[in-house]
Structure 1
């Protein structure tokens, strides 16, 4: 053997963190009364602060989160949107959207402040029942999207429905 030495084994170190592209990245911007993006619910696993007004949140595949985007100019509001999204696996098919890289599975989308405000109240009602919005059935978010698109009132998401969803998930249905 000429000068080759085995690399020492390292014990007790954390596993290498996956690269950023393994996660859905959401860039949030906050310029008071001009451009305001925020997460209403969701559990990011990492945050990267870019500057005083911008940061990136990293969501693991399968996680559900709500992104609210609002913008205004000198004439008033130009954008009010709430999206409930599911982060996707790397290279999986997904819908693209501004500020979300590479994209996500869109479970619900509402435009216009009256609908956004209504959605925020629906999310508050779910939390008031003791249910975390990130644990709500994706099918319920799709139901709410479809009902609101049709101008109808969505069914409430209750504890019975939530328990049924959790049991279905547990058995792998």
Structure 2
């Protein structure tokens, strides 16, 4: 199931706020939050770390998504819906079967999912460019499900998705 990524400044069910984020990875200029980042809770009177997170190839360390909890028990509520991550749960919200850990030397596979900000629905036919850590890029058009091409790597890395631009040629 797709869930919205939590950002610095998002609220909690205890009336608190996420007070930390990773400024190297943002959505709409807001830092995304990772496991271990802190929240402030006025109900529990203190600062508490976020214990949950979803492992993500594209974003490196575990990313916090809507509905996860801080150590004080407060539920964290996403305020944006432009950046979503698949949490591995099926349609009914049940967790998918636990996946075996990949061997250290196996390739990692990842793609981006492009969705409409207001609705969270996948956007097909959107031109994009994926900029890789070495400065090279891959261009394409999102498929019918709103996904970009899949990329493989031998180790975790950060890639940047840029939307728009020239349509790739048929031979690319």
The TM-score with structure 2 as length reference comes to 0.24
The TM-score with structure 1 as length reference comes to 0.24
Larger relative contact order (C-alpha < 8 A, sep ≥ 6)? 2
- The structure number with the bigger radius of gyration is 1
Higher helix fraction (1 or 2) = 1
